[in-house]
Amino acid sequence: MAEKKKSSYISGKESRKITKFNRRITKKLEKERADANKDPALYTTKMRDENNVVEFDNVCTYFFSDVGVVKAVDGVNFDIPKHTTVGVVGESGCGKSVTSLSLMQLLQRPTGQTVGGQIRFNKGDGTAYNIVNTPNAIMETLRGNKISMIFQEPMTALNPVFRIGQQINEVIELHYPEMSEEDVKARTLEMLELVGIANKEGVYSMYPHELSGGMRQRICIAIALACSPTLIIADEPTTALDVTIQAQILDLLQNLKDKLNSSIMLITHDLGVVAGMADYVVVMYAGRVVEKGTADDIFHHPMHPYTIGLMKSKPVVGQKVDMLYNIPGSVPNPVSMPDYCYFRDRCEMTCGRCRGSYPPEIRVSDTHVVSCYRYYDEGTVLGYPKSVNVEEL
């Protein structure tokens, strides 16, 4: 008897169809992008609120992969206010890194494309760039200078064949070509001191392999902050470090942020890290924001069943339990998301409405927004996430 067809199985014919579709769509999107790059009116816009550094407005970033369209980020809305730390949390694969890569325009193109929404970056002169359409030449002046990124793995983020000094100098030279060689070196040494490297002259001429993990992450922070950026994106900055070093690195980041008057977008799956540092928290699940608010809202009054589950699964110091809570089930297949709430099948608090459409964003207090039908009657409905129908692209 023939085996029952698995839902994830793709026949040769379907595979060819997907490839053909992907090629057509990505070619079209790349062309549209090239056209938009030529017209400043298409990449210059205005901030909704001048006090924000970045506004994600219904951002949709999809990957046109061989198995179908992966909606990695689908209608994401949140702001990063000036001089604050915004924590982005959620389990692995929920779209945190893709959100930050969309902001840096570092997506793996042409497979990865931001197909909808706006990412507004405040220029500080009353106007803003819409990063989605900004040409690469301008992006190069922003990356590392206005927006910089600290990656998860300090071991791989540094180039093993260049000395530490050279790697920091490079960033400064690129963004300040008029600076003299001595001034660049002085700035590099100043940065090394700032990130707490005691033997700065010695480390200046060392190779990455001569340093410990914590020191390498300090170097990555020095590189990221060399040009005093307005926004620092820290993508799991302490995940590869041991716990004692973690606290030091986070303290350092927080201090430098205050010194440079920057904002931080802190991406992590570790609620402990966010609790200690963030002013605002955005909780993501399967490519969507399910809850956002101040750190106090999220930690003391979590409302979305997913956030409540995350809180319950966190160990508490001094409290002994036989087994930690775990959220049942797993994330739905990103290629074929259900047309109702993505968390419904794992949710222990479902209500009658959950089988309907995906829940809207509901404002439950001045600062707290949650995407769950349980609060439909008590809050203000802000709107539904705007997904893009790829067939209509």
Give the binding site for Mg ion (CB under 5 A): 97
Site pattern 305..344 for ligand ADP (x: CB under 6 A): -----------------------------x----------
What is the Cα–Cα distance from 102 to 178, expressed in whole angstroms? 30
95 lies in the site for ligand ADP, by CB under 6 A: yes
96 lies in the site for ligand ADP, by CB under 6 A: yes
Nearest distance in Å: CB 237, Mg ion: 12
> Residue 272 binds which entry of Mg ion, ligand ADP, none, with Cβ cut-offs from 5 to 8 Å by kind?
none
Of the listed pieces 108-116, 152-160, 212-220, 309-317, which binds ligand ADP according to CB under 6 A?
108-116
What is the Cα–Cα distance from 95 to 93, expressed in whole angstroms? 6
* Nearer to ligand ADP among residue 236 and residue 361 (C-beta): 236
The gap from C-alpha 272 to its chain's centroid, in whole angstroms, comes to: 18
Q: Where are the beta strands (DSSP E) in 11-84?
A: 44-45, 52-65, 68-81
282 lies in the site for ligand ADP, by CB under 6 A: no
Strands 369-370, 380-383: pairing is unpaired
233 lies in the site for ligand ADP, by CB under 6 A: no
The gap from C-alpha 161 to its chain's centroid, in whole angstroms, comes to: 29
Size of the site for ligand ADP (CB under 6 A): 16
3-state helix, strand, coil split of the chain in percent (to 5) is 40, 20, 40
Nearest distance in Å: CB 131, Mg ion: 19
Of the listed pieces 11-19, 88-96, 162-170, 356-364, which binds ligand ADP according to CB under 6 A?
88-96
166 lies in the site for ligand ADP, by CB under 6 A: no
Tokens representing 379 are 């809050």
Asked if 96 contacts 103 with a C-beta cutoff of 8 angstroms, the reply is: no
Judge if the upstream peptide bond of residue 110 is cis by omega within 30 degrees of 0.
yes
Nearest distance in Å: CB 94, ligand ADP: 4
Nearest distance in Å: CB 230, ligand ADP: 23
- Please select the residue that binds ligand ADP; options are 94, 119, 226, 265, rule is CB under 6 A: 94
**Which residue type is seen at 339?**
D
108 lies in the site for ligand ADP, by CB under 6 A: yes
- Please select the residue that binds ligand ADP; options are 81, 93, 332, 360, rule is CB under 6 A: 93
Site pattern 44..83 for ligand ADP (x: CB under 6 A): -------------------x-x----x-x-----------
Nearest distance in Å: CB 189, ligand ADP: 34
Asked if 154 contacts 109 with a C-beta cutoff of 8 angstroms, the reply is: no
In whole angstroms, how far apart are CA 141 and each of 30, 158, 219, 230? 21, 21, 21, 13
**Which residue type is seen at 285?**
Y
The C-alpha angle with vertex 311 and arms to 305 and 313, in degrees rounded to 5, equals 100
Asked if 164 contacts 211 with a C-beta cutoff of 8 angstroms, the reply is: yes
239 lies in the site for ligand ADP, by CB under 6 A: no
Of the listed pieces 86-94, 140-148, 177-185, 338-346, which binds ligand ADP according to CB under 6 A?
86-94
Of the listed pieces 90-98, 136-144, 199-207, 289-297, which binds ligand ADP according to CB under 6 A?
90-98
What is the Cα–Cα distance from 262 to 187, expressed in whole angstroms? 18
Q: In what order do the strands lie in the sheet with 263-268?
A: 147-150, 231-235, 263-268, 85-89, 280-285, 288-294, 369-370, 361-363, 380-383
Nearest distance in Å: CB 334, ligand ADP: 5
* Nearer to ligand ADP among residue 72 and residue 171 (C-beta): 72
> Residue 70 binds which entry of ligand ADP, Mg ion, none, with Cβ cut-offs from 5 to 8 Å by kind?
ligand ADP
Tokens representing 88 are 């982005």
Nearest distance in Å: CB 45, Mg ion: 28
What are the residues binding ligand ADP (CB under 6 A)? 63, 65, 70, 72, 90, 92-98, 108, 111-112, 334
